[in-house]
Amino acid sequence: MIKHLAILGVGLIGSSLALALRETGHVQRVSGFGRNRRNLERGVELGVLDDFSLDLGEVVSDADMVLVAVPLGAMAELFAHMAPLLPDRAVITDVGSAKGSVVNDARNGLGDHFARFVAGHPIAGTERSGVEAGFATLFQQRKVILTPTGETETQAVDRVRDMWLACGAGVELMAVEHHDQVLAATSHLPHMLAFSLVSHLSKMSDQDEIFDYAAGGFRDFTRIASSDPVMWRDICIANRDALIDLIEGYQQELTLVADAIRRQDPDALQELFTDAKHTRDQLRNL
**pLDDT at position 214:** 73
Share of the chain above pLDDT 70, in %: 99
Which residue, among 183, 193, 188, 191, has the nearest Cα to 250 in the 3D structure? Answer: 193
**pLDDT at position 73:** 93
Largest alpha-carbon pair distance within the chain?
Answer: 67
Whether the predicted pLDDT of 285 surpasses 90? no
Which residue, among 124, 64, 52, has the nearest Cα to 88 in the 3D structure? Answer: 64
β-strands 27-33, 51-53 pairing: parallel
Q: What is the mean pLDDT of the chain?
A: 93
How many C-beta neighbours within 10 Å does residue 174 have?
A: 17
Q: Please list the residue range(s) of the chain that carry CATH number 3.40.50.720.
A: 2-174
Bridge partners of residue 145, in order along the sequence: 121, 172
What is the mean predicted confidence (pLDDT) over 243-267? 96
What is the mean predicted confidence (pLDDT) over 266-277? 94
CA distance 39 to 85: 24
Secondary structure of the chain: what % helix, strand, coil (to 5)? Answer: 60, 15, 30
110, 92 contact by CB (below 8 A): yes
**pLDDT at position 169:** 96
pLDDT band for position 222 (cuts 50, 70, 90): confident
Q: Which helix (H) or strand (E) holds 30?
A: strand 27-33
CA distance 31 to 52: 5
Q: Please list the residue range(s) of the chain that carry CATH number 1.10.3660.10.
A: 178-281
**pLDDT at position 286:** 64
| 104 CB-near residues (< 8 Å, 6+ apart) | none
| 72 CB-near residues (< 8 Å, 6+ apart) | 96, 97, 98, 101, 102, 231, 234, 235, 237, 238
Per-residue pLDDT of 93-148, as tens digits, reads 999 999 999 999 999 999 999 999 999 999 987 777 789 888 999 999 999 999 99
Whether the predicted pLDDT of 248 surpasses 70? yes
Whether the predicted pLDDT of 215 surpasses 80? no
106, 114 contact by CB (below 8 A): yes
pLDDT band for position 217 (cuts 50, 70, 90): confident
| 176 CB-near residues (< 8 Å, 6+ apart) | 99, 100, 103, 119, 147, 149
Per-residue pLDDT of 74-99, as tens digits, reads 999 999 999 999 999 999 999 999 99
**Cα→Cα distances 150→116, 175, 177, Å:** 11, 10, 14
CA distance 244 to 84: 37
What's the CATH number of domain 178-281, 1.10.760.10, 1.10.3660.10, 1.10.1040.10, 2.60.260.20?
1.10.3660.10
Please give, one letter per residue, the 3-state secondary structure of 244-273: HHHHHHHHHHHHHHHHHHHCCCHHHHHHHH
Whether the predicted pLDDT of 284 surpasses 80? no
Domain 2-174 fold: Rossmann fold (3.40.50)
pLDDT band for position 68 (cuts 50, 70, 90): very high
